[in-house]
């Protein structure tokens, strides 16, 4: 870079500019290591520094993903193998719905477990009644959501 060119700050803004200037488009694949390089995150010096490194990387990649989605309608998704892929528009709805349904289902399961595995013999009658009521409502919501999940997934595939 010569002295006449200015660099965007923070680093993720410059990273987005370089990605787009480099031809980033739907279907493109980007290595996580390349994103880290673009984000100019200083490598961890020791074990104690790993958390700082991981948080900086997460923050930078999240900012890149958010900006690409909002400003350029490009959904950047992990392939869980160290790469990110720009999801094609024709696949974006299905990807978003399936990922969202999976996350909601996981959280519903976690909530149900947390409420169900309560040591009820340590609760007052009022607290026990609230716990039982919560379990019933969670079960009802889960049942309703099961049907809605199927509908959402079907809509996303059509």
26-78 pLDDT, tens digit per residue, is 999 999 999 999 999 999 999 999 999 999 999 999 999 999 999 999 999 99
d(CA 16, CA 34): 12
Give the predicted TM-score (pTM) of the model.
0.80
Question: Residues for the chain: how many in total?
Answer: 158
Whether 120 and 135 have beta carbons less than 8 Å apart is answered as no
User: Buried b vs exposed e over 4-30: b needs ≥16 C-beta within 10 Å?
Assistant: eeeeeeebbebbbeebeeeebeeeeeb
- Which pLDDT belongs to residue 113? 96
Mean pLDDT of 72-88: 96
Note the pLDDT tens digit of each residue in 132-155: 999 999 999 988 887 777 787 777
- Which pLDDT belongs to residue 153? 74
HEC-encoded secondary structure of the chain: CCCCCCCCCCHHHHHHHHHHHCCCCCCCEEEHHHHHHHHCCCCCCCHHHHHHHHHHHHHHHHHHHHHHHHHHCCEEEECCCCEEEEECHHHHHHHHHHHHHHHHHHHHHHHHHHHHCCCHHHCCHHHHHHHHHHHHHHHHHHHHHHHHHHHHHHHHHC
pLDDT band at 1 (very low <50, low <70, confident <90, very high): very low
**Residues of the chain above pLDDT 70, percent:** 96
Residue 19 pLDDT exceeds 70:
yes
């Amino acid at each position: 870079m010569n002295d006449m060119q200015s660099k965007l700050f923070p680093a993720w803004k410059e990273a987005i500019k370089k990605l787009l200037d480099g031809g980033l488009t739907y279907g493109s694949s980007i290595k996580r290591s390349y994103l880290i390089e673009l984000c100019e995150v200083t490598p961890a010096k020791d074990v104690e520094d790993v958390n700082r490194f991981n948080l900086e990387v997460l923050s930078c990649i999240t900012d890149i993903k958010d900006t690409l989605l909002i400003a350029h309608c490009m959904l950047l998704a992990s392939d869980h193998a160290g790469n990110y892929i720009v999801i094609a528009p024709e696949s974006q709805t299905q990807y978003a719905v399936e990922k969202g349904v999976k996350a909601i289902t996981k959280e519903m399961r976690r909530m149900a477990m947390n409420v169900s595995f309560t040591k009820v013999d340590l609760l007052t009658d009022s607290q026990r009644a609230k716990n039982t009521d919560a379990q019933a409502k969670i079960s009802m919501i889960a049942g309703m959501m099961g049907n809605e999940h199927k509908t959402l997934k079907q809509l996303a595939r059509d």
